[in-house]
Structure 1
Amino acid sequence: MIASFSEERFPLRVAFGTTGGPERRTDIVRLSTGYENRNQRTRHSWRRYDAGSGVRSVEDLAAVLHFFEARRGRMTGFRFRDPFDFSSAAGGAAPTAFDQPLGTGDGETTTFTLQKQYGQGADAYRRPIRKPVPGSVRIGVAGAAQGDGFAVDATTGTVTFATPPAAGTVLTAGFEFDVPVRFDMDHLSVNVAAFEAGDIPTIPLVEVRP
């Protein structure tokens, strides 16, 4: 049986040169008064990429072809490193235990989900992080970095504390992360002669909810 998601990462050297980013869908109705009603269809954005722009050599093409076949085209999702947004720290800096809010202890809850915040205050968007890079997660409790006392599930983005954090305790986290995506095509058209003449293939990827 073919898995619906693979924890293998898309070739990193190709990912660094891709184009793409977040997408949202907003319904806009213009009223007769000139004002607009705007409604967002989904709570969370999703991302689209074109990995074709990251292909720089015939070797890159071969690596993508191999990866495409292993994933059975659109069948199986996989990890992808967004070259623009892969760290909890600003500007892609190394993560610290205090980069992002994780939650607030209530004396009972032990499991929290990693998230990355965009913006400030009530208007901030909090993006769930489901695919942290194994070994990259740092945890802070009440302003102190923790070396143990918690476990991270790198396949779901959940952090489980051995002991429930006390009520009112501020929890923070830092991490690197991948985006869960799949190929958005079942046909990979490769032409080596055209590539050498400057024709870069289109390799669309779309974010999924694993």
Structure 2
Amino acid sequence: MAFHEQRFPLRLSLTSSGGPGRQTDIVSLSNGREARNRRWRFSRRRYDVGSALRSVADLYAVLEFFEARGGQLHAFRFRDPVDFSSARPDEGVTSLDQWIGTGDGVTTAFPLVKAYGDGAAVERRPVVKPVAGTLRIAVDGVERMTGFAVDATSGIVTFEEGHVPDAGSEIRAGFEYDVPVRFDTDRIEINLDAFRAGRIPSIPLIEVIP
């Protein structure tokens, strides 16, 4: 299997349903309390991009994309219609959105992450499929325009020689990103409901680690 750096057609993902899921073991104790254990370090997202009435052209686009991926064989990019950037949905991306590390004067590579928190706890999700051309970087609150690059296939930001962040400096980033997913089925069933239009009842996708 391989990862194809192709994005599922954006116009077909806007009506998708789904989101993050976790796996937690819960054991009821004899005193009435519960013991809870988190089995997954990070959440895993699932989506369904089926059900909406679509033109025959859109149905063919799904069919073509499915065949090119070999069904479940090859993973690909998917844009979550709600959670796709370092900023909140109603805000634009800035270079100060997310903390990605603290400089030590030596380290040149920093992985992109996105934090989710409410004061009681913070979860930092690795971002491995940033969208090319969207990255913005700031060091100690000052945006940098040059001296760094990002690998769009892994989410690793690398600073060039002469631009390595000094010890103690705060490194922040803003970016858009896709979710790495695969089809969670090896079958696509198309129903024609009207003239030149139809639907695919279910097209399940599941997040993968590329």
TM-score by length of 1: 0.93
Whole-Å Cα distance in 1 between the matches of residues 199 and 62 of structure 2?
16
Corresponding position of 1:135: 133
Shift of 1:62: 1.1
Q: Does 1:59 align with 2:42?
A: no
Report the counterpart of residue 38 of structure 1 in structure 2.
36
Q: 1:195 to 1:76 in 2, by over 3 A?
A: farther
Higher helix share: 1
Alpha-carbon spacing, 1:158–1:12, altered in 2? closer, same or farther (3 Å): same
Is the CA contact (8 Å cut-off) linking 1:99 and 1:174 kept in structure 2? yes
1:55–1:61 contact (8 Å) kept in structure 2: no
Q: Deviations over 1:84-119 (max 9, x none)?
A: 100111125321100000100011110000000000
**Paired residue for 1:93, among 82, 91, 94?**
91
Report 1:140-159 matches (<5 A). Answer: 140-159=138-157
User: How many residue pairs align between the two structures?
Assistant: 208
Q: Which residues of structure 2 form unaligned runs of 5+?
A: none
TM-superposed CA distance for 1:165, in Å, is 1.0
Q: How does 1:52-201 map to 2 (within 5 A)?
A: 52-54=50-52, 56-120=54-118, 123-162=121-160, 163-193=163-193, 200-201=200-201
Letter paired with 1:159: V
Cα distance in 2 between the residues matched to 1:89 and 1:192:
39
Deviates more, 1:172-181 or 1:156-165: 156-165
Distance 1:186 1:45, change over 3 A: same
Is the 8 Å Cα contact of residues 110 and 160 (structure 1) preserved in structure 2? yes
Contact 2:53 2:198 in 1 (8 A): no
Q: Spell out, residue by residue over 1:53-76, the C-alpha distance to the aligned partner (whole angstroms, 9 max, x if none).
A: 455332221110010001010010
Moved more, 21-30 or 90-99: 90-99
Aligned to 1:133, the other structure's residue is in SS state: coil
SS in 2 for 1:181: strand
* Matches of 1:11 and 1:61, distance apart in 2: 11
Q: Which amino acid aligns with 2:34?
A: E
- Structure 1 segments of 4 or more deviating over 2 A? 53-59, 193-200
Q: Secondary structure at the match of 1:132?
A: coil
CA distance in 2, matches of 1:55, 1:203: 13
Give the partner amino acid of 1:176.
E
- What is the CA–CA distance in structure 1 between the aligned matches of 2:147 and 2:128, rounded to whole Å? 21
**Greater CA drift, 114-123 or 145-154:** 114-123
> Is the strand fraction higher in 1 or 2?
2
* Residues 69 and 199 of structure 1: CA distance in aligned 2, closer, same or farther (over 3 Å): closer
